Chain A
Amino acid sequence: MENSTKSIGKGIDRIDGILKITGKATYATDYPAKNMAYAVLFKSTIAAGQITKIDSTEAEKYPGVIKVITHENAPRLNTKGGLRGGALLQGPEIIFHGQHIGIVVAETFEQATAAAHLIKVEYNQKAEKTNFEKLAETPTMPKGKELADQVRGAGKSAMKTAEVTVEELYETPIEHHHPMEPHATMAMWEGDKLTLYNGSQIINGAQTAAAATLNMKPEQVRIISPFIGGGFGSKGGQWANLVLTAVAAKMVNRPVKLALTRQQMFNSVGLRQRNMQKLSIGATKEGKLVALAHEIISHTAINDEYIEPCGDCTKIMYDVPNSLITYRVVPMNIILPTYTRGPGKSTGSFALESAMDELAYKLKMDPIELRIKNEPPKDPSNGKPWSSRTTVKCLQEGAKAFGWDKRKAEPGTNKIGDDLIGYGVACGTYPARQRDSSAIIKLTLKNKVVHAKVEIAASDLGTGTNTILAQTAADGLGLPVNQITVKLGDSDLPPAAGSVGSVGASSFANAVNDACIKITDELLAKSGKQFFVRPTAAQLMISESFTDFQTRSDSKAPAEAEKYSAHSFNANFAEVRVNSITGMVKVTRFLAVTGAGKILNPKTARSQIIGGNVWGIGMALTEESVIDPRYGNFATRSFADYHVPTNLDIGNLDAMFINEEDLIPNKMGVKGIGEVGIVGVAAAVANAVFNATGKRVRSLPITPDKLL
């Protein structure tokens, strides 16, 4: 009885689904404003040097043009305000190809675009640092403390004591986020108050960064972002386009819209950096690991550092007494890399889980058995106990569901016609954390019906945050979901964490849940009555005829959580078919089994996981951005060159969740699924390709030429 009325755990449809499919959901550029002007960015065509002259005379004369803004007339901004990637028109310096060097504002987008082509720019070009292979020969130490060398036991020197070893170099290329909704902003000034309509994964982060950059107070800036068309990390930290829209609006004294083109998305909002990863594993003949080393070289921007933590999985996945993780970096004339789905873990797990697979073949051991044999009883990186760890369960339940026993251990022996069939497995993990978030609940009683409004400056990337918060409030207040309204995506609401690093669901849901508990307590106190069975907030509103009531709660992670190591875990199973003549690969079946604590909504959760799987398959098979080192520009510069996987590349995708209750990381036991869905995916596919063909591809993506 009790259970059937609960909403959490049910795969209900998105509460905003109808709005989205009818086009009524408002994204950043969907807001009308009177007297709107349109801004278009123009970009540098060199990678390093200085602008010596910008001639915008022709552009200024062009019909409809209102203003051309360059470093020569842009206002001085605070470049350390927290925006990523620079390019704020503060000087003539050019540090990457495609850096914004100006804005044209016009009556229409088309006029602004046409005028931008009339601007003549002269440069004093410098030798550019754009050749990663060359520069990687002499990398430097990263500045970040968390990226210092991590040595456990005898470190890499223990490789000498191993009976069986794997030492290989794994490479992953530059990738782009390319959310369906390109980055776009609408800026509107009222006196010294600024409103920015802008897809933002971290509402309060966008607010503080924009305010600081514009030398304003946060309360002067309001961010409105109720719907986001995806972000994958690129709308986590904000980029220059956010503030440049505000600058343009100020300078022309009108509301301004600025939307990046798909083309501009390649070099405006960060990227996943290219990584060279040397992975060494030493084991006994029985398959017990004795040494593990992960040595990583990545690139960063000339003026700032971001490095994907590729060693993070390696740190905790296996029980090994001696290990080494090192990061080295080369600053390059390329846009600053940034958080990209499963940052570090997705790319790092490709190296680690490929190497584990290679070791399994060398040992003639089943790769699942090898992993289980090296299961760590506690977190090897810090000695803390696991809050829970589901790797073995994921592997075992997945193996059964996938039919792992049908795998042929000998590579290249499973053939149907011209096609080779292969099975691969790989594991993944992502930390489970809760971050500070606040929520307000407002209850009203009208015609004997209680309605609840939930307010929180959370964000919904398109993943279903709106829906899971409605479900959380429904259960917490004793109401059906359709009597809940969720308001998020507005910096005027109580501050919250962001939809980043898989902290969104746990932080937001716990904040709402805490607010539900608090409001019920307060209503109880207000009633002045004692109840034998604790009534719900909804029941109290009705029985006590309260017409309006509201409360706010500020939530934090439980102090206890610090003493444990808390993570989501997964196991990925891939079946591939490789055409033995053309080398073309199709992932015919893919299964991800995930232990991520409480699953608030299995439907949206499944979508999250299979979405991550698709990108992981793209990472494995198709996605690569190439820089021409002579110019520093991308030679892959549209979706005709930058290939994301299509329906024909992927057959059946399936997601399973481990039934897990882990209340240590947070009260609700929610661990987060956004990131882990991509971790281990590329390795599972690459391992399956090896099983199919006997060819080990260590440099992604696995395109047909690599399998000839």
Chain B
Amino acid sequence: MKPFQFISATNPGDAVARLTKNPEAAFLGGGTNLLDLMKEHVSLPNEIIDIGNLSLKEIKATATGFHLGALAKNTETANHPLIRKHLPLLSKAILAGASAQIRNMATNGGNLLQRTRCSYFYDISMPCNKRVPGSGCAALEGFNRMHAIFGWSEQCVAVYPSDMAIALSALNATVKVKTSVAERLIPFKDFHLLPGNHPEKDNSLAHGELITGIEIPNNSLAAHSAYVKVRDRNSYAFALVSVAAGLSLNGNLIQSAHLAMGGVAHKPWRALQAEDFLKGKPATIANFTKAAELEMASAKALPNNRFKIEMGRKTLINALQLAFKG
């Protein structure tokens, strides 16, 4: 670990000002990701700005939906009566992630910004374009069992590891951000990025910007949603594949399907082809299967993760069935 200054921000404006001033500073949320990255010498901030005291911890209903404070803990969010009742998909997704201890520390903002678990990214003796742009991608022809099947580039094949964000993607959330001059809202689909030629950039946040909250619009998915996570052990493992599914139904007819996949891409993967196919169709196994096949048709496997295509297909069908059953 590299020595660093430790400062507690007094208000959001102070936090943003301090971070903006120092290109080598970093915010500290729960620290469950940042500290690991510092111990591994992957992140080397010289100044830690603790935002733990900021009053961005509220979870509440708003006129148009729900607001999650950026600094509310994952555990609190998942167990909040409002969230359990109206956004069970989000609650389930959060509880499928990490361990109870980590969720107790992890903040909603920090969760969105957690970095990939690609082991080459963590191993500073390895080439990695995300860590050192231009150094190459060790995973492309290496051990890539956990890596992407959608949207990857030759520059980076990593996947984004959050479970919570998969549900937020399906729920059409918006990320609320404070910049040094204003506030801005970033729709979830634009928040995380595909790697393209700039895998060093995980998301569209600029240095100096603070996530203040997450907004989730009202929806009619609560009765018909499911989060299915396939992993190497029954708890405390990142997803091989996960699916967040929500169905808005009119009897047996699907008015709209909300489907996002985890463990398959550099960002939450909205299964748009499957969604389009299902719109207006009856909720039948045949249709679920067709939708899943359509979506997986564009997947491109790496040498060690071919299984994810079949696993993705099955998990999509499974999640749709479970969501339908309610």
Contact = CB atoms under 8 A, between A and B. Distances in A.
Contacts of B143: 626, 628, 635-636
A110 B2 CA distance: 8
B301 to A, nearest CB: 12
Interface in A89-141: 110, 113-114, 117
A225 interface: no
Contacts of A703: 232
5 contacts: A114-B2, A581-B315, A584-B234, A643-B237, A705-B307
Nearest to B315: A582
Interface string A256-279: 000000010000000000000000
Contacts of A628: 138, 142-143
A607 interface: no
Interface residues of B, number: 35
A645 B233 contact: yes
Interface in B86-123: 117, 119-120, 122-123
B125 interface: yes
B122 A638 contact: yes
A675 B189 CA distance: 53
Closest 5 CB pairs of A and B: A45-B125, A648-B234, A635-B143, A705-B307, A648-B235
B1, B233, B240, B310 — most chain A CB neighbours (10 Å): B233
A210 interface: no
Contacts of B228: 582
B173 to A, nearest CB: 26
B214 interface: no
B75 interface: no
A167 interface: no
A621 interface: yes
B231 interface: yes
A633 B123 contact: yes
A573 interface: no
Given A117-B41, A626-B143, A641 B230 contact: no
A641 B144 CA distance: 12
Contacts of A690: none
Contact of B1 (A113, A647, A704): A113
Contact of B311 (A626, A648, A708): A708
Tell me what chain B mostly uses at the interface: helix, strand, loop, or mixed. Answer: loop
B240 A705 contact: yes
B269 interface: no
Task: Name the interface size band of chain A.
Answer: 20 to 34
B232 A583 contact: no
Given A581-B318, A628-B143, A633-B125, A704 B234 contact: no
A113 B311 CA distance: 42
A649 B231 CA distance: 11
A649 B307 contact: no
Contacts of B138: 628, 631
Interface string A631-654: 101011110110101111100000
Nearest to B310: A708
A27 to B, nearest CB: 22
A384 interface: no
Nearest to A62: B3
Contacts of B6: none
B254 interface: no
Contact of A640 (B117, B123, B307): B117
A626 to B, nearest CB: 5
Contacts of A583: 230, 311
A505 B36 CA distance: 40
Interface string A336-363: 0000000000000000000000000000
Interface in A566-584: 581-584
Nearest to A650: B234
A513 interface: no
B281 interface: no
A219 B265 CA distance: 61
Contacts of B238: 640
Given A635-B143, A640-B238, A646 B311 contact: no
B186 interface: no
A93 B264 CA distance: 41
Nearest to B125: A45
Contact of B3 (A114, A633, A638, A649): A114
B126 interface: yes
Contact of B126 (A110, A581, A631, A636): A631
B130 to A, nearest CB: 16
A692 to B, nearest CB: 16
Given A581-B318, A630-B142, A637 B119 contact: yes
A204 interface: no
A555 B231 CA distance: 52
Contacts of B117: 640-641
A637 B234 contact: no
B238 to A, nearest CB: 7
Nearest to A626: B143
